[in-house]
Chains A and B, each alone.
Chain A
Amino acid sequence: MDIPKKKISKDQKENTANQQISEVDSEIYDFLDSELEKGNPNGFSSGFSKNIIRKIETKQKRKLNIRMYTLISILVLISISLLISVLNTEFISMLCTVFLHYRFLSIFFLVTVVLIQFGERLINAKKGIN
């Protein structure tokens, strides 16, 4: 088999019986081998490794956030279920009455919070573009 000469020893000199090739072929194979083993002059962009590290950091941050949110959600769910089990129905109905009495104020408060959040995101997105 006419595989590159320098690698024959590494490959335990297998199939050397099939190495009988003409001198002309040998010359061009040598030429081909030397060309094939030349390093590639091109490569990834200069900031390639930094970009990868940045990507990993972002991914790790996202994972951490997801874990935190999951933990918080679980805690909130446990607290709510505990609260419900502790409170009696009378108290819950009283809470509902209070909420209904101040429903416009409560809705206004909720809408304001949502709008502030939305506005903040919009401003951050614009900052990111600029």
Chain B
Amino acid sequence: MFDEDKVISDILKGNLNTFQIVVEQYQNLVYSILNRMLTNDEDIEDIGQEVFMRVFENLRLFKKESKLSTWIARITYNIAINYLKKEVNKKYDNLDHSIDFQFSSETPESRLIGKEFDAYLNKLIRELPLQYRTVITLYHLDELTVQEVQKITKFPEGTIKVYLLRARKLLKEKLQKDGYP
């Protein structure tokens, strides 16, 4: 059983083995967020390391107002956003552009299944405007509710729901056009 309070107090005492357990526990969450928010695969590992270094350094400041996973997701989101602002400012989406958004991926020649379909869907999500792909990624990760997404992104709850609605609608239309389900 993963006892957050005990784990945190252990790490604050300087136990690095416990921190390694935390990394192993939450690395999939961090990877999933970065994988969809960032479009450059090569940077994911480095930024993932930066996330956990920041978690370790700031654990003392964690006020336990949310779950540890939500706090880690928030750090991941902030680091990813800062990275995007710095590195890919040309691609940093303006919300106004999101209204006319269209997927650039063409319909696959044959119906994709299994891993191929997962990769295709991932590609579609990565093409979505940043706000949409962030919200849909965070929301669909286990345990994250709209309120938790709000804590992470600081978007108003209504905005999150609108982004979620639009993102899902765009994906639905694209998949429908491609002949799914």
Contact = CB atoms under 8 A, between A and B. Distances in A.
Contact of A50 (B20, B139, B180): B20
A32 to B, nearest CB: 6
Interface in B27-64: 27-28, 31-32, 35, 44-45, 48-49, 52-53, 56
B142 interface: yes
Q: Considering residues A31, A41, A43, which has the most beta carbons from chain B within 10 angstroms of its beta carbon?
A: A43
B118 A41 contact: yes
A55 B48 contact: no
A42 B140 CA distance: 17
Contacts of A43: 27-28, 31
Interface residues of B, number: 39
A121 B27 CA distance: 37
A90 interface: no
Interface in A4-31: 4, 7, 10-11, 15, 25, 27-29, 31
A45 to B, nearest CB: 6
Nearest to A25: B172
Nearest to A31: B181
Contacts, number: 97
A40 to B, nearest CB: 5
Given A32-B172, A49-B20, A3 B161 contact: yes
B73 interface: no
A56 B172 contact: no
23 contacts: A2-B165, A2-B168, A2-B169, A3-B168, A7-B139, A11-B145, A11-B146, A27-B181, A28-B180, A31-B180, A32-B168, A32-B175, A36-B136, A37-B140, A38-B118, A41-B118, A43-B28, A49-B27, A52-B19, A53-B16, A56-B16, A56-B56, A59-B53
10 shortest interchain CB distances as A-B pairs? A31-B181, A49-B23, A36-B140, A52-B52, A40-B32, A49-B20, A43-B31, A10-B145, A11-B146, A49-B24
